[in-house]
Amino acid sequence: MRRRGQGHIEMILSFILFIGAVFFVLLFFNPSKSIDLVGGSTSFVFAQVAEQLETEVVRYGVRIVQPTLVIGLRLSRVPVGVGSRAVTEGGLVVASGITGNLVSAEHPAGVGFMTVEVSDAFPSGGLVGGGGDEDAVVVSSSVSEKILSEKKLQLLQQRYHQDYETLKHELAIPPGINFRFLVLFGGGDRLEAKRDVPTGVDVFVEEQRREIIRLDGKREFASLVVSLW
């Protein structure tokens, strides 16, 4: 009788262990949970990618107080690789450049106000002809903002194709989740980094219109699209 009772107990324990194992598998390998994880990560990954593409642009409003051919704007510090872009109040882009901490820009006759922007998104280099007249200008305003950069977009695209797994780790993308990104410019231009998506896999997409600085320094709006699966 004792052996028969022990046999029943062993069968019950084995059944309980079997049910527990099945429950464990369903809990941790449930496809719907994986889908929820990917879908819930879309906004986070989009923000991570966008942050990698952003660059700081400092914009100075400059009032010209005396006649000069070239204005000079002295800054406290200019990192290596930073360039400039100067625009008159009428929207005319004029030649500009940076030498040391001095930003110089051509001054068309009769122009009383100009905007000078400084960022690593602009081509770097000095203005041919030397420095400008610092006494001819007064800075009336300065604003700093974050804008997407085509230069950084190209760098991120290279990293995506050359070292995908390391990039995923740096972006804090959870294991088992893959991503790709695309920027659609006006006129049909596009720049993307992509991998093949397996057949039958759900793909989650987030898209936003963002301002971006092109390689020539011009601004335009483009669509940033990030996909996860």
**Helix segments in the chain, DSSP class H:** 2-28, 31-53, 150-162, 164-170
Q: What is the pLDDT of residues 87-129, one digit of tens each?
A: 999 999 999 999 999 999 999 999 999 999 999 999 888 786 6
Tokens (6 digits) for 142: 């300065």
Going from N- to C-terminal start, the domains of the chain cover 32-54+150-228, 57-146
Mean pLDDT in the chain?
A: 87
Q: What is the pLDDT of residues 62-79, one digit of tens each?
A: 999 999 999 999 999 888
Q: Can you tell me whether residue 64 is helix, strand or coil?
A: strand
pLDDT in the model for residue 172: 93
- Reported confidence tier of residue 32, pLDDT bands at 50, 70, 90: very low
Mean pLDDT value of segment 219-228 = 97
* Predicted structure pTM score: 0.77
pLDDT in the model for residue 180: 97
Give CA–CA dist 222/82, Å, rounded: 23
3-state helix, strand, coil in the chain (%, to 5): 35, 35, 30
